[in-house]
Structure 1
């Protein structure tokens, strides 16, 4: 009976959503991680395209100019709102495990997880989903043919561009692994070394790949001559892809997670993203407090405790919805959140190992995000990735793109943390044709007077960054301010609050420690958030691109 009540409540919330289909901003806003990608989106809007055509252009351009973060060898979630009929949908272009997947392939002779196999080389790569998503979005939601929406990216790949300092920094971090692969090293390590700033990267093979997709659509990449070249190249270096794997890959249209927070509709990513459910849990918990009157350390404590509980449930329940039955309605229910809230002590940290139910005994840092609002009010929040910087550090000769290393996002060995410290069990175990659990959290927040489009890269920290961005927006921060704010994060295990440098004062740190929290300050900042918002009362559009990046750009015009 309780489950039916929670399900009914979730349905009531969906039916009560506000609709603003008749409103138009008259201008467009795009925020992405690279100026050239933002400009590509506006170029396609100038051709008569809509937000979805612009998303194709921005996504493909980022694949060219941010190879460390994403690419057509990876995957993505595209959250869409179509103003003409109010349709809201998430395109699931998450990578898929090959049919020959066997968790034992990732273990060493002692039966321990071999991290090198799970993040480097061909066994680390799932079947890419981003090419399928670009085709699907153009054919089902866009106004322009792919030859137009992919034209800016093709031009960038052929004519070349100068990688920014951030891209070269990550190239330096991954140079030893990249050097192992002839295709990757030929493309990214000219003369066998990391190039200096000002080097122009030309990628004619990627230009040709994009031209094939523009000409032949889905079939151009996932079947025929190109697919054969791709599979043969992966097998030659020890991978386990097959032509059947590529032929099986399809974009999945998923119903978003939808809930209410402070009189606003929140639309966010469903499984195989863990982000939307975790975001709903955290905001539902926090909705029980008047955060406008709670500041400083007390507020941080409550937010951290909400994070802790949501990440516990992520570890236990979530996986690929095509293979795993999940109690979604229960997890996003305000009634469930009320129970979690009741377990939070207002002055003391809850040790993670004291939370019930986690089945520990049986148990992406580089990604990119962009946000778009077009002149008609169509919305796109897109997060795409190859997982760790430069993915698996493998380029099949003649293709021009890096393979992802998303197999590490599975729980390859029960209870053993992945590259981001996240743990999981059977719900996220590697199985043929499964899609690994993700933290990507593209999100819309729509209220009576204003709309926010937000998301970020950052691996396991994505969800908490989106949470903090939304809370800051409700506090009145403009997009540029909320993407630049200092950040903190808790993910259940390890039981520590990760913080950026100077996030808290010495006194605030002391108070949190007295409450029982352990703090860990990182050497580098994290994330690269991009957000846009629209005030429907004033008509104002605003954008913000995280200043932690080098080339991020938000434009309104």
Structure 2
């Protein structure tokens, strides 16, 4: 017994020594890439105060909630994938929204049994219980080193002093302005003067500053109890929503073991359910493992990847949901044998119609540039990949008076009716049906990829296309390229239904499109790009850090700064 104890103690000492050595080998610099330069600045400000990556993640998240209200906010949620260098520990902090206790499976059905899309996406009834503020508090208290008040200070300052409207804010508000005008108090915040503001105009949010200040001073209770909670609940109920003070009191952040898989010698640490991203990405990579993708023609490579996407999105609809409510066959979905079975139906010369895998009506999905993502690495080698959302741009387009908090419309991410597509064209069945306190399925896919000498941290917004964008970024990293390349890649996507390959303008040549059509694919060239990827990379061999933001929007901020390891 003594010998076993002594041996275990020696192993523990060896493990700790290795962990300390790994931590001491941090890059000595930090890299931050987010969807808004002011949010990136907030992260750098905290790092320069001596905070770690997790402190900076709270600051960036809160700042994005202020300066990018079209994409995330205190009224939304997200997934924060954390990696702590000192002990090689990784965890996914699940701050996903939950259904109110009064929610029912058929709450969005009309008298004829169809889905009332307006009720599902516009106004207070569309909102799940927010998770972002609870996640900020949890990350700060569990993994951070600085007081929450320090971490929220940049966001409070931005809310009080204001930020300039950029092209992304203006473009997405143009899409949602007609809905926002239903609630004049909401429109007054984001559309001063009643019209979509010009680029460069200043947006100030004093009520939001007060809400953030309450959170900074009182922690979780500053948002989920007391005056702020009462204002949120009263405002939602006054316009037909279901939130209650009990819903707020009951909300809990959940720590989840990330999905872990490997591809070509690289380890992937990625999002776990209720994200569908990690399982879907792992399944796609398992399907394509035997193929020499780099040696294929461009058209053949797109064909093979689209076929893998088709099968993974089919399984997404059938099996995935909130793991606290549904038994998800994760082992099966990520197994080599299951992938081999799916691969037997994959022909190199011919597309497999989705109708041959399962039958459901073909529906057209909408494109989206909402949601947001940031990636960062600190000087110690700690990492965060975080994807945050309010669902559609500006969420439900409604702010409970006196709070400054935009209500999300995440309830539309549930399956409101079996087989019926949501706003992104994604279908679902009983695994993702609406239930009280349940978390809705998500496509958010924050990911860390670890190789022998290089590590990537990446993710993106983009609705149903998130998963395939991250897949393409992972493959590009493994092919030897850096973040400037990942974030700039031309993008293509297949999500099972509609049965088509969607591509960005100029993503494929006419000859490549023709080759895919000869295989039986329908190729749809969209009239605009999608996504807003942000990535950082640590080359451990050279010690260099790189950071890049998506060129599709010019509001992003990506920096590498010299910060001595603390």
TM-score (norm 1): 0.95
Q: Distance in 2 between matches of 1:553 and 1:531?
A: 11
| 1:108 corresponding residue in structure 2 | 110
Equivalent residue runs for 1:295-444 within 5 Å: 295-355=297-357, 365-444=369-448
SS of residue in 1 equivalent to 2:301: helix
How many residues of Structure 1 are paired with residues of Structure 2 in the alignment? 538
Q: Distance in 2 between matches of 1:105 and 1:439?
A: 23
SS of residue in 1 equivalent to 2:33: strand
Q: Distance in 2 between matches of 1:473 and 1:87?
A: 23
Q: Distance in 2 between matches of 1:333 and 1:80?
A: 25
Contact 1:73-1:129 at 8 Å conserved across structures: yes
Contact 1:349-1:516 at 8 Å conserved across structures: yes
- More deviation in 441-450 or 108-117? 108-117
CA deviations 1:489-542 (Å, max 9, x no partner) are 000011000110001111111000000000111111100000000000001100
| 1:5 corresponding residue in structure 2 | none
Contact 1:97-1:433 at 8 Å conserved across structures: yes
**Displacement of 1:21:** 4.6
CA deviations 1:251-298 (Å, max 9, x no partner) are 000000001111111000010000000000001111111222223111
Contact 1:365-1:420 at 8 Å conserved across structures: no
Q: Distance in 1 between matches of 2:452 and 2:342?
A: 29
Choose the corresponding residue for 1:23, options 22, 25, 45: 25
Contact 1:316-1:359 at 8 Å conserved across structures: no
Q: Distance in 1 between matches of 2:559 and 2:147?
A: 24
Q: Distance in 1 between matches of 2:30 and 2:258?
A: 24
Q: Distance in 1 between matches of 2:156 and 2:252?
A: 24
Asked if 1:497 corresponds to 2:501, the answer is: yes
Q: Distance in 1 between matches of 2:223 and 2:42?
A: 22
**Displacement of 1:365:** 4.5
SS of residue in 1 equivalent to 2:107: helix
Gaps of 5+ in 2: 1-17, 363-367, 562-566
Q: Distance in 2 between matches of 1:267 and 1:64?
A: 29
**Displacement of 1:360:** 8.0
Equivalent residue runs for 1:43-442 within 5 Å: 43-355=45-357, 365-442=369-446
Contact 1:33-1:369 at 8 Å conserved across structures: yes
**Displacement of 1:479:** 0.3
TM-score (norm 2): 0.93
Runs of 4+ in 1 over 6 A off after TM superposition: 358-361
Asked if 1:39 corresponds to 2:44, the answer is: no
SS of residue in 2 equivalent to 1:38: helix
Gaps of 5+ in 1: 1-17
| 1:445 corresponding residue in structure 2 | 449
SS of residue in 1 equivalent to 2:59: helix
**Displacement of 1:359:** 8.0
Q: Distance in 1 between matches of 2:106 and 2:324?
A: 23
Choose the corresponding residue for 2:466, options 441, 462, 465: 462
**Displacement of 1:342:** 2.2
> RMSD across aligned C-alpha pairs, in angstroms?
1.5
CA deviations 1:68-101 (Å, max 9, x no partner) are 0000100010000011111100000000000010
